[in-house]
Amino acid sequence: MSEPSTESQPGNEPPALTPTAWAILGYLSLKSQSGYEILRAARESIAEFWGVSPGQLYPQLQNLAELGFIQAQGAAEGPRAKQQWSLTEAGQQALQQWFTAPSEPLKIRDEALAKLFFAAKGGPAGRDSGLLARLQAERRRIQAQLDRTLAAALPDGPLPDPQEAAKLGAPELAVRYGAHAARTARHWAKDLLGKDPRNRAEP
Amino acid sequence: MSEPSTESQPGNEPPALTPTAWAILGYLSLKSQSGYEILRAARESIAEFWGVSPGQLYPQLQNLAELGFIQAQGAAEGPRAKQQWSLTEAGQQALQQWFTAPSEPLKIRDEALAKLFFAAKGGPAGRDSGLLARLQAERRRIQAQLDRTLAAALPDGPLPDPQEAAKLGAPELAVRYGAHAARTARHWAKDLLGKDPRNRAEP
DNA sequence: GGTTCCATGTAAGGTGTTACATGATTCA
DNA sequence: TGAATCATGTAACACCTTACATGGAACC
């Protein structure tokens, strides 16, 4: 009764969906595609911080279709024919509500860090024989993965505002932003130069 | 036949245990304690990157006891009396093997990052109305959590070698190491000064 | 004696991964 | 036609979290 409207509004609660389901809506908002294409795209972009596996994806496609958030592009031909999916109006609204809602806290499972913790805390046995050094080397590998993760979320294409990013405070993110800005500048330059045949030699 | 010995050696494969089980062995290697104490300790230290929940902990205590990696300190008195556990020789060996073995890859589930990804990729609708700015602000919060996570693994107490840490290369970890070193220096100073009554006023 | 916190344990449900099964398509 | 790859789907299992149930201990 007190609700001004039943139309979903930006401030409304998003529906309760699984992580995989949100990934589906997200990818279908970019373009209509099949489940398999979503799987491949996810593996190449968000996999590091937002895992998507087939065992979850296909059931969720059915589920989202029943909820009316996505719809099959054409009638399915044959039992296992390729099926294109597209986002519905309701799905688009749900996605916007998801964007606006507060996020789940970050979850990490980092085995190398756990080992480092216990080995460093434990008796001198742990610190013998280069164990700590090797664990730290493993941590460097993990850190590289974190870099990839952040790079995936700050892609070359659409830019966060530099002034916003500069205010973020966390040194790591600032560094990352610097790298990102440099990369983007290269791309800009490449695009601009590419339009002029005189500059074709320049990478 | 070709194995030189059946005694477990540093290079051997560790037994297949769940993450919670390794946490138990790790904490019992520091001191004998009860399941509840492990739960509390984990909440205050490794929780950010190595979750431990009661629903997993108590069954795993039984499991590890059956495997002979831990043992009950005294006979259980009453059905739900407090029970102390300690690490066995076999448990200590398993832990050492775990330290030495390669680690599972880092796993992250970061909802704010996923939103940022799709909102930035999507149409201009995503970039309207300060949405991106708000998502970036959420990222700053997440970054603070990452800082806490790393701080937990580089505690004040036992130090990784500064020269090793300096070689890590990843700027974020280097920055973190700097903060850690500063904090440790403060603690050292506090300890040293504390021994001399003339310095008691100094924090 | 009742309340509060300590402490162990269980049940239910959700999430996720892997491996496999099956059918379509393509290309040699 | 056969093999490889695309594509969908399922089953089994591992793990995790939450919420709850139960009992002991301490304190008023």
What residues of chain B lie within 8 A of the CB of A153, using their CB? Answer: 113-114, 116-117, 120
Residue B200 clears pLDDT 90, i.e. is over it: no
Q: Are residues B62 and B87 both part of a single domain?
A: yes
Res B71: pLDDT: 93
Give buried/exposed letters for B57-81 (b at 16+ CB in 10 A, else e): beebbebbbeeebbbeeeeeeeeee
Closest chain B residue to A154, measured at CA: B117
Whether A10 maps to a domain, the answer reads no
Res B59: pLDDT: 95
Return the residue matching tokens 């070359």.
A156
- Mean pLDDT for the stretch of residues A114-133: 67
- Listed in sequence order, the residues at least 6 apart from B147 whose beta carbon sits closer than 8 Å to its beta carbon are A170, B176
Domain of residue A79, CATH code: 1.10.10.10
Task: Name which of A29, A125, A127 is nearest B158 (Cβ-Cβ).
Answer: A127
Residue B164 clears pLDDT 70, i.e. is over it: no
Res B182: pLDDT: 40
Whether A63 maps to a domain, the answer reads yes
Considering only residues 39 to 68 of chain B, which have any Cβ-Cβ distance to chain A shorter than 8 Å? 45-46, 48-51
Lowest mean per-residue pLDDT among A130-144, B48-62, B167-181: B167-181
Lowest mean per-residue pLDDT among A109-113, B94-98, B125-129: B125-129
Share of chain B above pLDDT 70, in %: 51
Q: Are residues A69 and A127 both part of a single domain?
A: no
Q: How far apart are CA A53 and CA A60, in angstroms?
A: 11
Res B142: pLDDT: 66
Q: Is B169 on the interface with A (CB under 8 A)?
A: yes
Give the residue from A46, A66, A100 where a domain finishes. A100
Residue whose CA lies closest to nucleotide C10 C1': B55
Res B39: pLDDT: 94
Res B3: pLDDT: 40
Whether B84 maps to a domain, the answer reads yes
What residues of chain A lie within 8 A of the CB of B117, using their CB? Answer: 26, 45-46, 50, 152-153, 155
Stronger pLDDT, B166 or A105, i.e. the higher one: A105
Res B75: pLDDT: 63
- Listed in sequence order, the residues at least 6 apart from B15 whose beta carbon sits closer than 8 Å to its beta carbon are B67, B94, B97
Residue of A18, A56, A111 to mutate, testing the B interface (most B Cβ within 10 Å of its Cβ): A111
Residue B8 clears pLDDT 50, i.e. is over it: no
Whether B6 maps to a domain, the answer reads no
- Mean pLDDT for the stretch of residues A137-141: 68
Whether A1 maps to a domain, the answer reads no
Q: Are residues A76 and A135 both part of a single domain?
A: no
Q: Are residues A127 and A190 both part of a single domain?
A: yes
Q: How far apart are CA A186 and CA A188, in angstroms?
A: 5
Whether B27 maps to a domain, the answer reads yes
Stronger pLDDT, B25 or B9, i.e. the higher one: B25
* Pairs of residues, one from chain A and one from chain B, whose beta carbons lie less than 8 Å apart: 225
How many structural domains compose chain B?
2
Q: Are residues B127 and B147 both part of a single domain?
A: yes
Select the highest-mean-pLDDT range: A168-172, B36-40, B139-143: B36-40
Residue whose CA lies closest to nucleotide D12 C1': A55
- Mean pLDDT for the stretch of residues A35-59: 90
Res B169: pLDDT: 32
Res A68: pLDDT: 94
What's the mean pLDDT when you consider all of chain A?
69
Q: Are residues A127 and A60 both part of a single domain?
A: no
Residue A116 clears pLDDT 70, i.e. is over it: yes
What residues of chain A lie within 8 A of the CB of B146, using their CB? Answer: 106, 170, 172
Q: What is the pLDDT of residues A66-108, one digit of tens each?
A: 999 999 987 655 566 788 999 999 999 999 999 888 888 889 8
Q: Are residues A74 and A137 both part of a single domain?
A: no
Q: What is the pLDDT of residues A145-154, one digit of tens each?
A: 666 665 655 5
Q: Are residues B190 and B116 both part of a single domain?
A: yes
Lowest mean per-residue pLDDT among A125-129, A139-143, B34-38, B44-48: A125-129
- Mean pLDDT for the stretch of residues A126-136: 62
Whether A55 maps to a domain, the answer reads yes
Q: What token pair was written down for B33?
A: 């304690």
- Mean pLDDT for the stretch of residues B105-119: 84
Res A115: pLDDT: 86
- Mean pLDDT for the stretch of residues B95-115: 88
Q: Are residues B33 and B64 both part of a single domain?
A: yes
Residue B28 clears pLDDT 60, i.e. is over it: yes
Tell me whether residue A87 is exposed, middle or buried, using C-beta atoms within 10 angstroms of its C-beta: 0 to 12, 13 to 18, 19 or more: buried
Q: What is the pLDDT of residues A158-203, one digit of tens each?
A: 434 434 433 333 333 333 443 443 343 333 333 333 333 333 333 3
Q: State how far residue A201 is from chain B, nearest Cα, in angstroms.
A: 31
Residue whose CA lies closest to nucleotide D14 C1': B18
Residue A18, CB-side half-sphere exposure with 13 Å CA sphere: 14
The neighbouring-strand residues paired with B153 are none
Select the highest-mean-pLDDT range: A144-148, A192-196, B69-73, B162-166: B69-73
Res B32: pLDDT: 93
Q: Are residues A37 and A89 both part of a single domain?
A: yes
Q: Are residues A67 and A29 both part of a single domain?
A: yes
Query: Residue A145: which domain range?
Result: 111-195
Res B13: pLDDT: 85
What residues of chain B lie within 8 A of the CB of A42, using their CB? Answer: none
Give the residue from B78, B100, B122 where a domain finishes. B100
Whether A200 maps to a domain, the answer reads no
Select the highest-mean-pLDDT range: A5-9, A20-24, A178-182, B74-78: A20-24
Residue B90 clears pLDDT 90, i.e. is over it: yes
CA of B122 to C1' of C5 (A): 51
Q: Are residues A118 and A156 both part of a single domain?
A: yes
Give the residue from B100, B122, B156 where a domain finishes. B100
Res B180: pLDDT: 43
Q: Are A146 and B118 in contact (CB under 8 A)?
A: no
Q: How far apart are CA A29 and CA A70, in angstroms?
A: 10
